A and B are shown apart, each in its own frame.
Chain A
Amino acid sequence: MVNNAQSSVGIILVSHSQKITEGLKDLILEMNGENVNILSAGGTDDGRLGTSATIIMSKIEELQDCENILVFYDMGSALLSAETAIDLLDEDLQAKCKIIEGPIVEGAFVASVQSTITNDIDAIIEEVSKL
């Protein structure tokens, strides 16, 4: 599932709305020429509005070959579910995940562009934090 073997950064999008995370994923892939590892993890297991720790968990697992995985969330239970998902992962994979504070659209966009030019995760997070 890793699109770009060069990029060791994965991005996970979490929102109550699957439309939001799907739309944002499309937008970011469009703007980066499909060159980033980004997955949508919005909505519940059955596609309703809401978040699902089990979906988030399986999406993170799909990106397990990435060296670092950044998790962006919007609001409400998105953070609770993202934290729960990470708690349930194997320790090795847990250590790769970082939940990022910041606006999900702009934040994920900035991180994705950065991920095409550097694997320095601290530099990427630093760029996002400037938003």
Chain B
Amino acid sequence: MPTLVLDREYFVNVFRDMLPFVDKESEHLQQLDSAIGDGDHGINLTIGFREVTKQLDTINEDAADISTIFKKVGMLLLGKVGGSSGPLYGSFFMKAGKDVTGKNEVTFDEFCGMLLNGIESIQLRGKAELGDKTMIDAFLPGAEVLKQDSPEDPVEKFTAFVEAMKEGAESTIPLIAKKGRAMRLGERAIGHKDPGAESAWMMMEVFLNRLKEAVSA
């Protein structure tokens, strides 16, 4: 199999898919967040990605490279989302684009590197550790998969990445929260999945779905 190359259209399509995805999952995320957070995670992401969708064509026309597209998307999330997921996901996308300046296509390995940069920025920004009941509990196990050598089939690796994140999100259920509003709930947070960890793996699944398409094309 030749090396998989992802062009800017792939990323634009992923960003285009984000709004229908968050719309569909909004209720689910809302329920998780109502249990231990302030109940606005679903609606916040919807508002953020609604703005991204609105501006995506213009962003795509104006952007010189993939890096700029990611930076613009990240900036919109910073301004619109409102909750902690705003600066966290905003930083994620902005930093994911930092090493691909001037590029309009990236290899699969470069793409994995972009996501690792994004994950690192979430860690730096939120200062959460593994087990704090945050999106880091999903992202860090995922990062371990991304750091491994890529097998022949990129979809296999990316599926393993999303699976590791999904398991990470599940692992937050029995935890006491160390960050955010849920931290104030003490043991009351036990038994509830962290909404940020849940939206994190789900967003990465949007990348996966388009990746499957890119590979089969």
| Residue A128, interface by CB 8 Å | no
Number of A-B contacts (CB under 8 A): 63
Q: How far is the CA of A16 from the CA of B126 in the complex (A)?
A: 17
Name the prevailing secondary structure of the A interface residues. Answer: loop
Q: Are A49's CB and B78's CB within 8 A?
A: no
- B184's nearest neighbour on chain A, judged by CB, is A75
Q: Are A77's CB and B78's CB within 8 A?
A: no
Number of interface residues of B (CB under 8 A): 21
| Residue B168, interface by CB 8 Å | no
Q: Are A52's CB and B125's CB within 8 A?
A: no
Q: Are B82's CB and A54's CB within 8 A?
A: no
Interface size class of chain A, counting residues whose CB lies under 8 Å from the partner chain: 10 to 19
- Chain B residues whose C-beta falls within 8 Å of the C-beta of A76 in the assembled complex: 38, 83-84, 180-181
A80-88, A94-102, A119-127: which lies at the B interface? A80-88
- Chain A residues whose C-beta falls within 8 Å of the C-beta of B180 in the assembled complex: 76
Q: Are B78's CB and A84's CB within 8 A?
A: yes
Q: Are B82's CB and A53's CB within 8 A?
A: no
| Residue A45, interface by CB 8 Å | yes
Among B7-52, those with CB < 8 Å from A are 38, 40, 44, 47
| Residue A104, interface by CB 8 Å | no
Taking beta carbons and an 8 Å cutoff, which residues of A are in contact with B? Answer: 16, 44-46, 48-55, 76-77, 80-81, 83-84
The 8 residue pairs across chains A and B that have the minimum distance between CB atoms: A50-B82, A54-B79, A77-B84, A53-B78, A80-B87, A84-B87, A45-B79, A44-B82
